[in-house]
Structures are given as C-alpha cells and as structure tokens.
Structure 1
Amino acid sequence: MKKSYLLTGAALLLGASNIFAQASAKQTSSTFLFPEFTSGTVFQKNGATLDATLDYNTVTQEMMFAQEGKNLILNDVSNIDSVVINGVVLVPARNVFFEKLTKTPIALYAQYKGKIVQGDPLGGRIGTSNSTLNGQLNGRKANNDKPGNYDLKLADGYTMDVQTIYWLKKGNEYTQVSTLKAFTKQFPGKEAQIDAFVKENNISIVKIQDMIRLTEFVNK
C-alpha cells in the first residue's frame, strides 16, 4: 500500500525562532499533535493494517486511540511499522514516535516534544494491558485528574510549548542534529556542497520545509 508523506499544517506550525532544532512553537492549550482524534491507519510489521481513531500526546509522547468513549494509550509498539494520521507518517523510534519527513536513503525525522510551562507535572497512570493488533487495539487507561496529562485541553492557567527535534537515520541508527553544523557532519565529503546550498537557498534549521529540501538535496 502506498503511503503518503505529506506534511500537514499542524506539523508546519511547529517551526520556531532560534538557531536550534529544538525550537519552541507558539504556545498552545492542547497536549496533542492534532486538533482532535482523527481516523488513521496502523501499519503492522507483518503487512496487516488496522484503522483507528488516533492522536499523539506530545507531552507524554505516547500514541493514543479512542475506543468506546475513552482515550487509551497504545503501550506495546514492538510490532508496529508506522502510524499514518492525516498524511503524517509517525514511526516508533527511541521509545517515542517520530514523524518521517523524507523518503531518502538517509532520512530526516522530527520529534515533537511538548512541555508544560505552568502548573503541576503530569500525574500517574492507572492500569496496564498488553496491546494487541491484527484487528484490535488494546491499551492502558490514563489518569485525567492532572492538568496537561491526557485531556485535549489544559486547565485554566496552564500553557505549553512544542519543540521540534530533528533526527537523521542511517541504517537503523538515529542521530540527533541540533544545528546545521551537526547536520553537515553526517555527510562527510559533502561539506562544501551543503554550505553552498544553505547560502544560496537561505536554509534555516527552524523551518521544517527547509530541512526537508536540504536532506533531499544532500541525498542525491
């Protein structure tokens, strides 16, 4: 099945205003990547697919799904290849989910990390169960008593920032790239080409589309 790698407007809003890849977006009242739980598809490593209503919690960095009026956490992702929501491809990586931004041999990924900037830290969780795919999603319940935990909107007086953290994947290894210099180091022998491309195109590491262009260029 052909997968779409288009970047949605929600992801585009996660650009920011300093020279690092870990750049805060504008403050929001939602802990989630998407405005609401949305129909998506879970692609399993065995080739099977499962449709579900999903969203991604950027604070706890957990994939969640709606089932029988409850929001549950997908807590076993060992047999998941990817999750596609609104054309955004999210893959399990380093115990969280990254968005795959390019289909290049050395691919660019983005991690979206929410941070509550006022109020209590996250509360605990209630109950666990193993997630089962091949036709059904199971998960664990979440404690909604604490602001910013799993509610779609934070309580009054609470706000949060979302950071975009870039990663490059070579083979099975992910390397975080926080600056253009760090990015360039991952492509030895192409330093001059990258430098020229960056200058000619005014590439900014805080702009996701710029980083996609740069990654596609350097992979040619």
Structure 2
Amino acid sequence: MKKTSNLLAILVCTFIFSASHAQSLSDTLKANGYLYEHFEPGFVVLHGGTTQQAPVNYNTNTQEIAFIQDGHLLILSNLDAIDTVFMGERKFIAHEGKFYEVGAAGNMPLLISYDNRKVPVSATVDHNGTSKQYDREVSNTVSEVYMNRRYKGNFVLEFVPQFWIRRGHTLYKANSEKQLEKIFPQKTNTIKDYVAAHHTVFSNTSELAQLVTTLQ
C-alpha cells in the first residue's frame, strides 16, 4: 500500500500539547480517559489504500482517536477520508464523527464505542484489621466491562464498552437480548435459543461477537 509523509498533517484537527515530558503525557492520558496508558503502534488507512503509521490511542470521553507526531499529541480529523484505523491488533472505523471498534464484520457489523465512569477505589481489610485501598487490575482484553485506572483522589476510571449494530447508515444499540431482538425481529427465536444454549453474556465482546456472526 502506498504511503505519504504528509498524510497525518492533512488529518490533524487540534494541537493539544507538547509531549516532550513523559510525566505530562501520562497525566494527560489519565485525565482525559484514554483507553491505553501508552500510545499503541498503529496506522491510518485512507479510502484508496494510502496509509500512515503513528502511535495512536482512543479517547473514551470523546470517542476520538489521537496520535503522536513530532512530539505533539494530535486528533484525527477529516474522518470521511479515513477507511480504517488499526490500533495494535484492533480495528476502528469512523461513523458520524466518532470512532468505533469493529467487534464482528458482516453486512450488519457489531461496533463498539467506549465510555468511562468514575468509581470509588475499593477498600479492604487485611488480616490485622487494617483498612487499605487498592486499584483494581487493568485488563487490555476486549471481552468485558473492563479497565480501571487510578484517576484523581480515591477514584478510578472504569472503561465500559457500548455495543452497536450498524444497519445501512444507522447504528442501533445492542447491549441486551431485547435490543438485539428489535434489530433482528425475524430471528427472535434464533437469538433466544442461542443465548439459552451458550449462556451469552452481553457485556462480553467475544461472546456477543459470536452471536452476531451467527445472525448475519
């Protein structure tokens, strides 16, 4: 695929700050709800196949994708020109100004957006009766409601996937069995039978993706 050195310059929307100091970058990522604590190797593919590599990350506050170029943190713009963004092994596409991960391909693909919420840090009591606080483990899998990261004070950020089915140019929520049945009304029995047989957890990306694939 053809590459061009000025591709990202064309796609830049906003200059945020100089990322020359690692601590400043880390603080900014935490404060702004980025999915990864570090920028992931990735590349942007335009319609027509032109590509550009860059470290990328996903903002769960805005559903935008940021990248680093020449020590600057920038936001992808001109989304109509973008076909796909690969973030490590994960694939994202744009829809009406926001980015969605592709959970399952097909004529009616499963798409995933990511939000966040602040959750109080849990407190536990050790064997000596001393109360202590801890941050829950960070998971980089894409299979559950996941990823807590220390935010401010006694809070962590919990990253929560929201599931969608794209039919034509419209997105429909697919976070529950009832929502999925509304999208596929003629396959209601198939959905019920599948969920009963596989004990499908709708917050589990891989399980929901398998169900959606069977409905294509």
Deviation of 1:217 (Å): 1.2
The SS at the match of 2:179 is helix
The SS at the match of 1:189 is helix
Question: What TM-score do you get using the length of structure 2 for normalisation?
Answer: 0.67
Q: 2:43, 2:86 within 8 Å by CA — same for their partners in 1? A: yes
Q: 2:108, 2:167 within 8 Å by CA — same for their partners in 1? A: yes
User: Counting strand residues as a fraction of each chain, which structure ranks higher?
Assistant: 2
Deviations 1:62-100 (A, max 9, x none): 211112222112233221111001111111113211001
Larger radius of gyration: 2
Deviations 1:165-204 (A, max 9, x none): 1100112221122321110121122111111111011011
Query: 1:183 maps to which residue?
Result: 180
Question: What TM-score do you get using the length of structure 1 for normalisation?
Answer: 0.66
Deviation of 1:116 (Å): 4.4
Give 1:189-200 correspondences, 5 Å limit: 189-200=186-197
Query: 1:201 maps to which residue?
Result: 198
| Amino acid aligned to 1:38 | E
Deviation of 1:115 (Å): 3.2
Query: 1:170 maps to which residue?
Result: 167
Q: 1:59, 1:116 within 8 Å by CA — same for their partners in 2? A: no
Q: 1:83, 1:89 within 8 Å by CA — same for their partners in 2? A: yes
Distance in structure 1 (CA, Å) of the matches to 2:190 and 2:150: 45
Query: 1:96 maps to which residue?
Result: 98
The SS at the match of 2:104 is coil
Distance in structure 2 (CA, Å) of the matches to 1:212 and 1:52: 28
1:53 maps to which of 45, 49, 55: 55
* 1:210 has 2:207 as partner: yes
What's the RMSD between the two structures over aligned residues?
2.3
Distance in structure 1 (CA, Å) of the matches to 2:77 and 2:157: 24
Runs of 5+ unmatched residues, structure 2:
2-29, 121-148
The SS at the match of 2:185 is coil
| Amino acid aligned to 2:95 | A
The SS at the match of 1:100 is strand
| Identity fraction in percent | 24
User: Counting helix residues as a fraction of each chain, which structure ranks higher?
Assistant: 2
Q: 2:150, 2:157 within 8 Å by CA — same for their partners in 1? A: no
Q: Which has the higher contact order (CA 8 A, sep 6+)?
A: 1
Runs of 5+ unmatched residues, structure 1:
2-28, 119-151
Distance in structure 2 (CA, Å) of the matches to 1:205 and 1:185: 15
The SS at the match of 2:186 is coil
Q: 2:63, 2:113 within 8 Å by CA — same for their partners in 1? A: no
Deviation of 1:153 (Å): 7.3
Distance in structure 1 (CA, Å) of the matches to 2:170 and 2:63: 20
Give 1:1-220 correspondences, 5 Å limit: 31-116=33-118, 154-219=151-216
Deviation of 1:60 (Å): 2.7
